[in-house]
Structure formats: C-alpha cells, structure tokens
Structure 1
Amino acid sequence: MQWLVDVFTWTIPVAGGGLLVREVIGNLFGLASALGGMARKVWAWPVGIIGNALLLTVFLASLFGGADHATLLGQAGRQVMFIAVSVYGWVRWRAASRGRGDHAPAITPEWAGRGGRTLLVLGLLIGTLALTPVFRALGSWEPVWADAWTFVGSLLATYGMARGWVEFWLVWVAVDVVGVPLLWSSGYYASAVMYAFYGVFTLIGFFVWLRAKDREGTR
C-alpha cells in the first residue's frame, strides 16, 4: 500500500517547502462547487463534499503526517460542518428543483429578511466570541479568533446558500478577508490563494444572484 501513502503525501516543491497536491485538488473541487452554486445547480453540493473531505485531511496536519504544517482546528472543523450542511443543502435544492426542468436553476434567490440578517450578523459575532477560547484550549493556530471567525462564517454562509439567501455571498466576503492572512501565515498557501480568489468571486456571485432575484420576480 506504499503507493497509496505516496499519493496521499504527494507534494509540489514550492519556495523551499512542499505544497500538498490533495490541498490543491480539494480547493479545485471547492471552486467547482462555488461555480455550481453561482449557477444554482444541485451538483454543486456533492462536488463540494468531495473537496471538503480532502481538505479535512489537510488541516488536521498532525494526524495525517503533516508535521511541517500547522493544525487549524477551525479550518478542519469547518470541513466537517460543510459536509453536514451540504447534505442539508443538497436535499433542499433537489426538492426545490422538482418540476423546474433539467436545465433550470434549482432555486430562486431571495432576501434573508430581517430575521435572517440578524441570524447572520449576530451569529457570526457571538459564535466567534464563544468558540475562540475553545479553539485556543484545543491548541489551534494564532490568531485563534480568526480561525473561529472563518469557522462560524463558513457555517452561516453555507446555511444561507442552502436557504437561497442572496446575503450569503457577503458573509463569504467577510470570511475571505480574515481567512487569507490566516491561511498564508500558517503555511497553507494553496488555500490562501484560493481564498483570495474567492473574495473576488463571491462579490461577483452576490450581483449574479441579485440580478436573478430581480429577474425571476421574488420579493
């Protein structure tokens, strides 16, 4: 089974270090999922789950032979969370897509409303405050609040996407602004670059969904 170990630990030499191929592949699946999400396609969810499973092994570096990488508990935990919420989103979008036609978007975007926006904003702030000491006690990378922020924000953004809320794209922007320097400082360069790209991508996604909401006649 040595070949399997070699594939799992395959790295690309970069600036005196190594870039895990599975980190790159996991992020490419994430990008494909984001593109599918922008187009409101059901397949975005299972594609994203594959990427999440790969990235889970990356961020739990100490458990998977990555002694030269920091263990980011928030980033690892968010992959588990992604998988769980993605199953919910997958089921919800499949149900919503019935009767729409094979090539039609699965859902129609809508505003989150006052209650939804309150959930997103207060959830992000309170969740970060609550999880920061937990992640610190478990030995996550400093600044721990940034790890907690990206975890909570990712949870809320994914839930917002599953609900079809236009505002979920803006939550992703907030996640990316904090996530890029965190990932870069902890040595996850492929993920940091991908987060930087996502920052631009999510702004585009917001306006794409906003236009779709207006065009398809939602409130």
Structure 2
Amino acid sequence: MIDWILHGTIAVGDGHLYVREVVGNVFGLASAILGMRRVVWAWPVGLIGNILLFTVFVTGEMSGATDEPLWGQAGRQVFFAAVSLYGWWRWSRSRAAGGAADGGAITPRWATWVERGQLVALGVVGYAAAYAVLTRIGSWGPTTEAWILAGSMLATYGMARGWVEFWLVWILVDIVGVTSLVRAGYYPTAGMYLVYAVFVLIGFVVWWRASSTSEHTRELQGANA
C-alpha cells in the first residue's frame, strides 16, 4: 500500500495521475472540511497531506510542463506542517478548556484592526522574502509562487488563531494557485484548488455566522450580568 501511494499511478484517458499527488490533496481537502467544522483532527489530517505534497513539489518529475521544482509549493508544505503543530496545540488547548459554545474546538472571531494591520505587514514582508529566496534558488514562477507561499502562511496562521479573515486570504491564494498549477502541469492539485475554492466560500459563511452567534451570546451575557 505504501509503495502504491508513493509510486503508483491512476490511468486517466491517455495519461495518468500520480497517486501521491491525488492522495495528498484528498487529505488536504479532508483537513479543510474538518477545519470548517472546527474539529481538532483538521490539523493532524492536514499534516499527512503536507508530507505527501512536499514530496510531489520538491522535484519536477510529476509535472507535465516543467522539470524544475516548485519550491514555493514545496515550502508552503513545510510551513503548513509547522503551523499544523501550532494549530493542533492551540485548538487542543481550547477544546480542553471547554471549546466553543456550539461544540467547535475554537470560537471564530473577526481580527481586530491592529491584528489586520499585522497580517498585511506580514504579507508584504513574507512576499518580499519568499520572492527573493525563490528567485535565488531558481524556483519555477517565483512571482506567483511567492504569493502562494506568503498567502498560505497568513491563512494557516489565521486559522490557528480562529480569525474569520483567513478564509478571504485563502480565496486570493486559490485564484493565483489554480492558474499557476495548470501552467506547471500539476492538474490534480489545480483541480483540487477549484474544489477548495467552493469549500472556502462555504467555510467563510459558516465561520462568519458562528462568529456572529458567539458575539450575540456575549452581548446577552453582558446584558444579564
């Protein structure tokens, strides 16, 4: 089974898909669904997908258009793995403390203006740093790869903190990611990005409603105090 996941292919028409890329994206999608529901398991499930997809992008051997590594895509998997450990710890801690009133591991909320300013600043610095590094090491498409990497960092960190805005960042990442991956020949991942986009929109609405409900609850509690 392990050998099949790492080296197997799935016939599609006259071509084939690599099992590793497909399975890695399935784990990523499962993580997104669990994250939308604010289930702690979103983090370890996503971690498995990160490991598989890192091996996909760290070489260009699975691409139908380029032999160069997509270091931006590979790098974001490393960051995802690191933040997954942080998010896993943070959500587990929140769950142990009682979690959200609706049963979620964490209570969603909109970031403050100070926190939004921090996100913008981190995005600018992150993009500049990622572009410089990716250009230096010769990654394919450093302009778009840098945004995918920096945007993914912001979105994942925002998810760990429980900020509703992280879904909006994901939308911007997906828009760039789909076009970039199609050009690079990573069609399963590009297709999964389109699926992600649907769940991102749904997730944004779900978290928005949850944040509004929790805010209303706090207001009632304050009025009754």
Alignment TM-score, normalising by the size of structure 1: 0.90
Aligned length: 214
Aligned counterpart in structure 2 of residue 47 of structure 1, from 35, 45, 48 = 45
Q: Is the 8 A contact 2:72 2:146 kept in 1?
A: yes
| In 2: Cα distance, 1:84 partner to 1:110 partner | 23
SS in 2 for 1:12: strand
The two structures, once aligned, show a CA RMSD in angstroms of: 2.2
SS in 1 for 2:104: coil
| In 2: Cα distance, 1:133 partner to 1:118 partner | 23
5+ long unaligned stretches in structure 1: none
Counterpart in the other structure of 2:94: 96
5+ long unaligned stretches in structure 2: 220-225
When structure 1 is superposed on structure 2, of 183-192 and 129-138 the one drifting more is 129-138
Residue 132, structure 1, aligned to residue 131, structure 2: yes
Matches within 5 A, 1:175-190: 175-190=173-188
Q: Is the 8 A contact 1:94 1:106 kept in 2?
A: yes
| In 1: Cα distance, 2:211 partner to 2:183 partner | 38
| In 2: Cα distance, 1:125 partner to 1:31 partner | 27
Q: In structure 2, do the counterparts of structure 1 residues 27 and 4 end up closer, same or farther at CA, with 3 Å as the change threshold?
A: closer
Matches within 5 A, 1:15-164: 16-62=14-60, 66=62, 69-100=67-98, 104-142=103-141, 144-164=142-162
SS in 2 for 1:216: helix
| Residue deviations 1:40-77 (CA, integer Å, cap 9, x gap) | 01010000000101101000125xx5475541001001
Q: In structure 2, do the counterparts of structure 1 residues 95 and 4 end up closer, same or farther at CA, with 3 Å as the change threshold?
A: closer
Q: Is the 8 A contact 1:108 1:216 kept in 2?
A: yes
| Residue deviations 1:76-124 (CA, integer Å, cap 9, x gap) | 0111110100000000000001143799210101111112211222322
Could you tell me the percent identity over the aligned residues? 52
| In 1: Cα distance, 2:5 partner to 2:207 partner | 39
Q: In the alignment, residue 127 of structure 1 is paired with which amino acid?
A: G
Superposition deviation, residue 4 in structure 1: 5.8
Superposition deviation, residue 197 in structure 1: 1.5
| In 1: Cα distance, 2:63 partner to 2:197 partner | 29
| In 1: Cα distance, 2:137 partner to 2:50 partner | 21
Q: In structure 2, do the counterparts of structure 1 residues 148 and 40 end up closer, same or farther at CA, with 3 Å as the change threshold?
A: same
**Whose Rg is larger?**
2
Alignment TM-score, normalising by the size of structure 2: 0.87
| In 2: Cα distance, 1:39 partner to 1:123 partner | 27
